[in-house]
């Protein structure tokens, strides 16, 4: 079930990533580089609106899984009701914020006048609010471990968004029209997610939350909120670049970081279904089962995610050229350094989700505070001295350092020897980086000769194909991969019960 749900979770992200890559060249062709950078900065501002929901929407799936195991249908309906209330309140506060912040951002960034800036900001905050309603509806199916229906709805919604976005860019080379089209598409997505909710959960799917239930979810949500703040730290880097350096630098930063966000999203799918699964597993088998669960799935998730980051670094010169044609000079090193920082961070994925599933979100939350302070503090301190590269260095050091601190704390709390982490992570890391090394050298040497899409695309396909084939065969032989993804020769040798 975990494998099927993880695969289902990938549907929405893969489609969104694909459409995002297809849209970026069109946006750069139809909008100015400054408008492209402004869209990235306003997206980062809108993300912080999520602070106002106090972590409620991000906690619902965990409580749905808990109430499902205990057969508390009323509790599930109250979760939906509380989520809808919180999103509505956030939407109202966001609208007021847009009117106040528009003249400030217009003056600071200097790309749009106040009127157009207000429309763009309202559209972006509207997109965030509408997506909040979709998250609440989807959380029920995720908590019930029935993740196919909401992700089908997400894929259809992504198709609608892509169609609206392309139409807006073709009809009008105007950021305001593009923002309005995206907001309209996200509104359509609410209906799609609600239909998916009705498919897995028969009416009445909503109930007015009791104070006791609300307080329980709120306390848990406040702790997870701190973790979420650290997760959006990679959005504030664009904001800092845009304000401290300039909007053009933010646009170049966005190009490199957009690839890394897509890679991180795909890599995170390896743990996307673990929170509700871990919650149900711990309730059924007890906390003494946590160490074995953690070691087993850490090995599986890093074996799947490490090669994605390593390939991203190895193929970076060809990837960006094949994608955009004309690549800003700083985009490639930005991509590679951010990918390496997240290479370390992904090793905390299973530990973070297990601690949340165990009802201990504070474990990840405390470390998230350190991550936020380190990353933002170092970026702000180094930006005046080194500009764009100071911001990048601050975030790379903050993300990597805080990840290692979390690993140490998690192992101490659950009395798991650190040697288990080293064994689970070390071998897949060496394999992924070892195979990537010659391809990276080839990319650095041959990248200067692949300056057009026509020459970069074949090189990208060759590097990606050879790397994937080599890693798949060797990782299958060593038994690093889930049984469902192993090469045929390995699958025949391993008994069906030998791998989860």
Residue 130 lies in a domain: yes
Residue 489 lies in a domain: no
Same domain, yes or no, for 249 and 129?
no
Q: How many domains does the chain have?
A: 2
- CA 268 distance to own-chain centroid: 7
Report the alpha-carbon distance of residue 445 to residue 443 in Å, rounded.
5
What sign has the CA pseudo-torsion 45, 6, 357, 216?
positive
Report the alpha-carbon distance of residue 207 to residue 83 in Å, rounded.
11
Same domain, yes or no, for 158 and 256?
no
Tens place of pLDDT per residue across the chain (500 aa) = 555 555 556 677 778 878 887 888 888 888 887 888 788 777 766 666 555 566 677 778 888 888 888 888 888 888 888 889 988 988 888 888 888 888 887 887 777 888 998 998 899 888 888 988 988 888 888 878 777 888 889 899 999 999 999 999 999 888 999 999 999 999 999 999 999 888 888 766 788 888 888 888 887 777 666 656 655 555 566 667 766 666 666 666 777 777 777 777 666 655 555 566 667 677 777 778 788 888 888 888 888 889 988 998 888 888 888 887 777 667 788 888 888 877 888 888 888 878 877 777 777 777 777 777 788 888 888 878 887 788 888 888 888 888 888 888 888 888 888 887 888 888 899 999 999 999 988 887 776 677 787 888 888 899 999 999 999 999 988 888 877 777 776 544 444 433 34
Same domain, yes or no, for 469 and 408?
yes
Matching residue, tokens 């000769």: 449
Residue 62 lies in a domain: yes
Same domain, yes or no, for 284 and 194?
no
Same domain, yes or no, for 39 and 151?
yes
> Between the CA of residue 352 and those of 63, 134, 395, 396, what are the distances in Å?
16, 24, 20, 20
Residue partners of 25: CB distance under 8 A and separation at least 6: 323, 324, 325
Same domain, yes or no, for 173 and 238?
no
Residue 412 lies in a domain: yes
Residue 494 lies in a domain: no
Same domain, yes or no, for 143 and 255?
no
Same domain, yes or no, for 323 and 195?
no
Structural domain containing residue 434: 232-480
| pTM for this prediction | 0.61
Residue partners of 365: CB distance under 8 A and separation at least 6: 223, 224, 225, 226, 227
Report the alpha-carbon distance of residue 297 to residue 313 in Å, rounded.
25
Q: Decide: 103 and 111 in contact? Cβ < 8 Å.
A: no
Matching residue, tokens 């790309």: 111
Q: Decide: 342 and 374 in contact? Cβ < 8 Å.
A: no
Report the alpha-carbon distance of residue 5 to residue 147 in Å, rounded.
5
Q: How many CB atoms lie within 10 A of CB 49?
A: 19
Same domain, yes or no, for 192 and 101?
yes
Same domain, yes or no, for 405 and 370?
yes
Same domain, yes or no, for 329 and 245?
yes
Same domain, yes or no, for 207 and 325?
no
- Secondary structure, 3-state, 99-132: HHHHHHHHHHHCCCCHHHHHHHHHHHHHHHHHHH
Provide DSSP, 189-240: HHHHHHHHHHHHSPSP---PPPHHHHHHHHHHHHHHHHHHHHHTHHHHHHHH
Domain limit, last residue, from 185, 218, 251: 218
Closest CA to 11 of 126, 130, 148: 148
Report the alpha-carbon distance of residue 206 to residue 85 in Å, rounded.
11
């Amino acid at each position: 079930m975990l494998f099927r749900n993880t695969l289902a979770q990938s549907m929405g992200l893969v489609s969104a990533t694909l459409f995002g890559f297809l849209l970026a060249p069109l946006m750069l062709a139809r909008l100015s580089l400054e408008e492209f950078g402004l869209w990235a900065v306003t997206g980062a501002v809108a993300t912080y609106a999520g602070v106002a929901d106090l972590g409620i929407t991000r906690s619902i799936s965990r409580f749905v899984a808990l109430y499902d195991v205990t057969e508390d249908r009323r509790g599930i309906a109250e979760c939906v009701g509380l989520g809808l209330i919180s999103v509505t309140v956030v939407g109202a506060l966001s609208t007021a914020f847009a009117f106040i912040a528009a003249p400030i951002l217009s003056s600071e960034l200097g790309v749009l006048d106040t009127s157009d800036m207000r429309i763009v900001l309202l559209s972006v905050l509207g997109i965030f609010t509408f997506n909040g309603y979709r998250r609440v509806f989807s959380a029920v199916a995720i908590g019930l471990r029935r993740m196919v229906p909401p992700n089908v709805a997400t894929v259809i919604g992504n198709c609608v968004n892509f169609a609206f976005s392309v139409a807006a860019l073709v009809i009008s080379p105007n950021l305001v029209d593009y923002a309005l089209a995206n907001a309209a598409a996200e509104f359509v997505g609410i209906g799609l997610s609600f239909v998916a909710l009705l498919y897995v959960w028969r009416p009445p799917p909503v109930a007015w939350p009791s104070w006791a239930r609300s307080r329980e979810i709120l306390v848990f949500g406040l702790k997870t909120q701190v973790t979420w703040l650290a997760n959006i730290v990679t959005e504030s880097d664009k904001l800092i670049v845009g304000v401290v350096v300039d909007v053009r630098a933010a646009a170049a930063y966005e190009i490199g970081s957009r690839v890394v966000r897509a890679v991180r999203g795909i890599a995170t799918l390896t743990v996307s279904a673990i929170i509700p699964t871990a919650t149900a597993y711990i309730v059924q088998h007890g906390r003494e089962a946590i160490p074995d669960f953690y070691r087993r799935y850490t090995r599986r998730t890093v074996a799947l995610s490490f090669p994605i980051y390593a390939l991203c670094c190895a193929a970076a010169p060809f990837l960006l050229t094949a994608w955009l044609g004309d690549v800003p000079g700083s985009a490639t090193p930005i991509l590679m350094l951010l990918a390496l920082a997240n290479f370390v961070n992904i090793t905390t994925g299973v530990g973070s989700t297990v601690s949340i599933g165990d009802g201990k979100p504070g474990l990840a939350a405390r470390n998230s505070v350190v991550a936020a302070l380190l990353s933002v503090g170092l970026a702000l301190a180094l930006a005046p001295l080194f500009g764009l590269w100071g911001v990048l260095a601050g975030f790379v050091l903050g993300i990597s350092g805080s990840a290692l601190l979390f690993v140490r704390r998690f192992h101490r709390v659950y009395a798991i020897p650190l040697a288990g982490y080293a064994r689970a992570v070390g071998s897949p890391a060496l394999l992924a980086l070892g195979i990537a090394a010659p391809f990276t050298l080839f990319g650095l040497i041959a990248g200067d000769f692949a300056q057009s899409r026509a020459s970069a695309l074949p090189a990208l396909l060759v590097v990606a194909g050879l790397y994937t084939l080599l890693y798949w065969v060797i990782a299958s032989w060593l038994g690093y991969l889930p049984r469902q993804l192993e090469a045929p020769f390995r699958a025949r040798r391993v008994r069906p019960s030998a791998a989860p």
